[in-house]
Amino acid sequence: MSGVRERRKQCAKCPWKVSTDPRAIPNGYSVDKHRAAACTIAEPAALRSGPLRLMACHETANAPCVGWLHNQLGPGNNIALRLAVMTGRVSGDCETEGPQHECFEDTLPRRGPEA
């Protein structure tokens, strides 16, 4: 392996895309598992003690979610993630597609009978 990483593109059904209905996420979407991913969201500009928690991609094994990376490296201002990218522990080389949600809560299904 050459060590060159290919730029990852956002999945078609990424929950961070405004156009995605989270219930349409493939491979058995679970609102409970989705809500549990809130532990991966940093307080903006805060350094957490303990391990860096990454939101996993639902399609790409062993890789962080591209929409989450975009949010946490941008408006989420996840300092621990930024340090991990700077040191090469995590690749931040990714590309989003279309408008993105600004906060984790907006990625969850709207409240309704099935939410």
Chain segment 63-108, per-residue pLDDT in tens: 999 999 999 999 988 888 999 999 999 999 999 999 999 999 999 9
CB 16 within 8 A of CB 56: no
pLDDT: is 49 or 4 the higher one? 49
Q: What integer is the mean pLDDT of 34-40?
A: 94
Residue 1 lies in a domain: no
Residue 3: inside a domain: no
Whether 114 is covered by a domain: the verdict is no
Q: How far apart are the C-alpha atoms of 114 and 87, rounded to whole Å?
A: 42
List CB contacts of 21: < 8 A, sequence separation 6 or more.
Answer: 109
With 50 as the cut, is the pLDDT of residue 41 above it?
yes
Structural domain boundaries enclosing 33: 8-107
Please say if the pLDDT value at position 112 is more than 60: no
Residue 38 dihedral angles phi and psi, to the nearest 5°: -60, -25
Residue 49 is predicted with a pLDDT of 63
What local confidence, expressed as pLDDT, does residue 60 receive?
A: 82
CA-to-CA distance for 108 and 82, rounded, in angstroms?
A: 24
Domain-embedded: residue 115:
no
Distance CA 91, CA 85 (A): 6
**What's the domain count of the chain?**
1
**Is it the case that residue 1 has pLDDT exceeding 90?**
no
pTM, whole model, 2 decimals?
0.86
What's the sign of the alpha-carbon dihedral 43, 51, 37, 92? positive
113 belongs to a structural domain? no
Cα–Cα distance, 57 to 64 (Å, whole number): 5
The pLDDT of residue 52 is: 87
9: β partners: 95
